[in-house]
């Protein structure tokens, strides 16, 4: 009987709830609001990991997947500003404050404190967001924050100043599934 109890305790973690959640289809939208022009760039291939047990967040985006709706603008954005041939990814890695003890159907405000890297420059960033544990066991993540292009050495030529904002508002939405 003791060995049966030992086997149950040994395999119990295999039957518990996963603490790691993944997505490959999250969305990112950036909004550029300049004096003469406002436009969005979008991507639906945000990759991410939320590990509640280790309190780890890791999200990255292939910047070549961003689209603004105008092919020539996308080309200039990639070649002249983001330089995606040298710096193809944006990444955020950090930890949550606080780590919620999640219950299905409830939303939890969190802040992610970590490092955001784009254009070869890494900076500390604090991102407010919301986590919601769905009844099907998936987690919905929503976050919104602003970055300054100058902070990441992304230069805006003077001729484009009125069409491209120095600050970009980023919105992230992702549904993360338990890692199997």
Cα separation, 31 vs 144, whole angstroms:
11
Q: What is the largest CA-CA distance in the chain?
A: 79
pLDDT in tens, the chain (180 residues): 444 333 333 443 333 445 899 999 999 999 999 888 899 999 999 999 999 999 999 999 999 999 999 999 999 999 989 999 999 999 999 999 888 888 999 999 999 999 999 999 999 999 999 999 999 999 999 999 999 999 999 988 766 656 788 999 999 999 999 998
Cα separation, 162 vs 145, whole angstroms:
22
Instruction: Give CB contacts under 8 A, 24+ apart, made by 79-87.
Output: 81/149, 81/154, 81/155, 81/156, 81/164, 82/118, 82/119, 82/154, 83/119, 86/120, 87/63, 87/118, 87/119, 87/120
User: What pLDDT, on a 0 to 100 scale, did the predictor assign at position 26?
Assistant: 96
* Tokens, residue 94: 């950090």
- Tell me phi and psi for residue 150, to 5 degrees: -60, -35
Residue pair 122/116 in contact (Cβ under 8 Å)? The answer is yes
User: What pLDDT, on a 0 to 100 scale, did the predictor assign at position 9?
Assistant: 36
User: What pLDDT, on a 0 to 100 scale, did the predictor assign at position 43?
Assistant: 98
Cα separation, 57 vs 148, whole angstroms:
22
Domains of the chain: 19-178 (2.40.128.110)
The answer to pTM > 0.75 is yes
User: What pLDDT, on a 0 to 100 scale, did the predictor assign at position 60?
Assistant: 97
**DSSP states of 20-82 as a string?**
EEEEEEEEEEEEEE-SS-EEEEEEEEEEEEEETTTTEEEEEEEGGG-B-S-HHHHHHIIIIII
């Amino acid at each position: 009987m003791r060995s049966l109890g030992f086997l149950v305790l040994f395999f119990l973690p295999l039957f518990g709830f996963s603490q790691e959640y993944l997505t490959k289809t999250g969305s990112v939208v950036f909004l550029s609001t300049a004096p003469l022009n406002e436009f969005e760039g979008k991507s639906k291939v945000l990759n991410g990991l939320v590990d509640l047990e280790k309190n780890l967040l890791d999200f990255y985006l292939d910047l070549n997947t961003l689209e603004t709706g105008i092919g020539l603008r996308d080309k200039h954005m990639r070649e002249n500003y983001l330089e995606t041939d040298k710096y193809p990814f944006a990444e955020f890695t950090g930890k949550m404050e606080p780590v919620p003890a999640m219950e299905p159907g409830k939303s939890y405000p969190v802040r992610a404190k970590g490092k955001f890297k784009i254009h070869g420059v890494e900076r500390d960033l604090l991102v407010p967001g919301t986590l919601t544990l769905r009844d099907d066991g998936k987690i919905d993540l929503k976050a919104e924050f602003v970055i300054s292009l100058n902070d990441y050495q992304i230069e805006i030529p003077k001729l484009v100043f009125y069409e491209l904002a120095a600050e970009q508002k980023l919105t992230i939405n992702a549904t993360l599934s338990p890692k199997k």
